[in-house]
Structure formats: structure tokens, C-alpha cells
Amino acid sequence: MHDTTLLLIEVGALLLAMSALGRLATWLGLSPIPFYLLLGLCFGQGGAVQLGASIEFIQAGSEIGIVLLLALLGLEYTAAELIGGLRTSRRAGLLDAVLNALPGAALALLLGWGPVAAVTLAGVTWVSSSGVISKLIGDLGRLPNRETPVILSVLVMEDLAMAFYLPVLSAIAAGVAFLQGAITVGIAVAMVTVILVVALRYGHLVSRLFPADHYEPLLLGVLGLTMLIAGLAAKASVSAAVGAFLVGIAISGKVAENANQALTPLRDLFAALFFVFFGIVTDSSSLWSMVLPALALAAVTIATKVLTGIYAAHQAGIGPLGRWRTGMSLTPRGEFSIIIAGLAVTSGIVPAALAPLATTYVLITILAGTILARMPDAPWFRARVAHHT
């Protein structure tokens, strides 16, 4: 059979399966991310069936998915909001980093994986899933709640930190010499700083490059600029995802709003392929050996993330029930955790077992987080909180 014909068959069957799983996730009230990861595991090494002709297409689609995922996340924020979030949530952000990064680093060292794996796993356990949490807040009707800005400020702090963390991780994972690594990180930090300054002071000029009311040139223009900057960022040893995120920040106003609407279907498609591809490149036969470490790590870091949220909400003057909603809403890890693990594992400098550990960990936290986020709305939980206040 011709390769193109086989590619069409494989991709078509895969998309149909993803559609069915997405519908199942919606019916269950869960995020579709764990379902996509599980589907990828079925088609990867150790899975039931292995894909052939479509692997390169899915890999390319997954890389576009990362770019679009982070670009649209950036479109949700303005540069002023990022800077404002940084100023108002400094203590909560520092506590967040310490409480949630240290357990991951400690487990990597206990497993004997070395310092690079420790830095990697620290990032995996540190950053919450903006995508999953944003969807949960919307699904639960909590957008007008007083604690929602607190949740978003913590997420903004983490997203901004990732703009500096990912280049550092890329340099470490590449195993470059200290001087070369320092230069690489310096270039990365300088590039991130320049883009932030441009976004803060000249973002309105960037937005004027695109026609807000004409969707076709708007879609092509924003997508083109995003992929161009993402590629240049990767060339400068900055993560392409970070470059895309900063492009999203630089675009504001009606252009950002309409670009978000135009790009959302593309993001959903290619981001789903990203999670499927991560499952494909993970050896599913090694997942079972990582269940216990992942469960232990999830138990600890879910508790530390809840403490982070409670502290942040308390600092903002939120009441007891809102504090619990904040902490429990922040527990899912997702896209960034997978991106971090993928960057490190593909470099070959960290043990391959880190990928199944990260996958299992993300699955557990998303499933647990989806349930925990709903608990503060339960009558018995409200009554218990009221009894203790």
C-alpha cells in the first residue's frame, strides 16, 4: 500500500478514536488529556498496535501543538498582567516553587537518576496545568469567584518562570560545557527579556500588524508570526514553546480576542496530537513499574499544591471555602510537565524511565485534581468548613 494511503488510514482511524475518547471524557466530566495519553500508549512501544507511516506526521503535529498551546495561553494574558501578577504574588510564587519542586528533585535523587533528572523532575512536579485548570474553572462556573484571580496569578507566575526555566533545562540537558551553557542561558534570558519589554511597551504596535475583523489574514498572520518566532527562539536555544508564549503576550486587545477564537480549533487538534505522541514514545510496558513512585509523588505534591493555594488565597483575603477551592483547583499537572519531561528524555541525558514516571504522574494528578476541584462545592464539605470556622 502506498505510504500516503496508509498515512491517511492511520491518521483517520486515530482521529476517530480521539473523538470518541474526547466525547467520553466530556460525558464523565474529566479532562481528555489522560485519555489521549492512554491512546498513545496503545499505539507505542509495548502497545497493542504500532503505527508506521503516520509517526512522522504525528510528531510534526505534536510540535505544532506545543507552539499553539503556549501561544494561546499567552493570548490570555497581557504583559501588564504578567508584571502585575509577578509583583502581587511573589511570596506565593516562591512558596509554590519550593514546596512543589523539591519533592520531584528528591525522588529523582533517591532513584539514583542524577542531578539533571532532579532538575527535570522538579519542573514536572512544580508547574500546574493552566489548560486543565482553566477548563475546570469554566466548567464549574467559577470565573466570577473571588478566588479565581488568585488562581490565575499563581498560574501566571509559573508560566513566567517557565520562560526562564526551560532554556536552563535545555542547556543542562544538552550537556554543553559550563561557559557555552552560560552563554546559551544568557542569550535565552536576554531574548525573553527583550520580548517582554517589547510586549509591555510596544504590544499595541504588534497588534496593529493584523486585521482584527478579517479572520483569514488574522489567522495566517498570527500563526505565521508565532511559528517564525518559535523557530527563531529554538535556534537561539530558547524553547520554541516559550517563544510562542511570549508572542501571545505581545498581542492584545481585539486582535488577541479574535485570534484566540480563530486558532482554538487548530490548537485543540494539534495539542491533542502532542499528548497522543507523548504516549506513543513512552514504553507502556514500563508504566507499571512507575505506578508506586508516581502515586507517592502525586500524594505529596497534591498536598503541597493545596497548601500553596491556601496560602495564596489567605494572603489575598479570601475566605476559608475559597482557600480550599484555590488549593484544590491548582493540583492538576499537564502540558508543561509533559513538555519538560519530553525535552529532557529526548536529549538522552536522563534515564528513559523518567518519561513513564512523568506520564503516570500527570495521569494521576489530572484525575485526582478533577475530582478534588469539585469537592468544595459538596454540601458535606461546606458544612465541615463552616463547622471549623
Tell whether 2 is covered by a domain.
no
Tell whether 107 is covered by a domain.
yes
pLDDT at 95: 93
Helix ranges, the chain (H): 3-28, 33-43, 55-75, 79-88, 90-110, 115-126, 130-139, 148-173, 178-207, 215-235, 240-250, 253-280, 291-315, 320-329, 335-347, 354-372, 379-387
> CB of 271 within 8 A of CB of 335?
yes
Tell whether 209 is covered by a domain.
yes
pLDDT at 185: 67
DSSP character for 232? H
The residue whose grid cell reads 505529596 is 300
pLDDT at 384: 87
Tell whether 50 is covered by a domain.
no
pLDDT at 303: 96
**Total count of domains within the chain:** 1
- The CATH number of the domain holding residue 236 is 1.20.1530.20
pLDDT at 179: 63
For residue 301, give the amino acid letter.
Answer: T
The residue whose grid cell reads 546559551 is 184
Question: Rounded to 5 degrees, what angle do the CA atoms 352, 131, 295 make?
Answer: 45
Phi–psi pair at 354, nearest 5 degrees: -65, -35
Phi–psi pair at 47, nearest 5 degrees: -85, 180
Give SS3 for 114: coil
pLDDT at 365: 92
> CB of 130 within 8 A of CB of 347?
no
The residue whose grid cell reads 511597551 is 201
pLDDT at 180: 64
Q: Tell me the residue range of the domain where 124 lies.
A: 55-384
Q: Which three cell numbers stand for residue 153?
A: 496569578
- Count how many Cα atoms sit within 13 Å of the Cα of residue 235 in the half-sphere of its side chain: 6
- Cα(188)–Cα(240) distance, integer angstroms: 11
pLDDT at 25: 85
- Cα(246)–Cα(160) distance, integer angstroms: 9
- Cα(246)–Cα(235) distance, integer angstroms: 16
- Cα(360)–Cα(41) distance, integer angstroms: 11
Distance of CA 98 to CAs 39, 202, 368, Å?
Answer: 34, 34, 22
The residue whose grid cell reads 506520564 is 359
- Cα(149)–Cα(161) distance, integer angstroms: 18
Tell whether 170 is covered by a domain.
yes
pLDDT in single tens digits along all 389 residues of the chain? 557 888 888 888 889 999 999 899 888 877 787 788 788 888 876 666 777 777 788 888 888 887 887 788 778 767 676 666 667 677 888 999 999 999 999 999 999 998 889 999 999 999 998 777 877 787 778 878 888 888 878 887 887 777 678 777 777 766 655 566 667 667 767 777 777 777 777 777 777 788 878 878 888 988 898 899 888 877 766 667 777 877 887 887 788 888 888 888 888 888 888 878 877 877 777 778 889 999 999 999 999 999 999 999 998 888 899 999 999 999 999 877 887 888 787 777 788 888 889 988 988 998 888 889 889 888 888 888 887 76
pLDDT at 178: 59
Distance of CA 164 to CAs 43, 119, 160, 169, 242, Å?
Answer: 34, 13, 7, 9, 9
Tell whether 86 is covered by a domain.
yes
Q: Which three cell numbers stand for residue 341?
A: 519531561
- Cα(252)–Cα(362) distance, integer angstroms: 31
**Helix 55-75 and helix 240-250, axial crossing angle in degrees, nearest 10:** 40
| Closest residue by Cα to residue 366 from 335, 342, 326 | 335
Tell whether 224 is covered by a domain.
yes
Tell whether 82 is covered by a domain.
yes
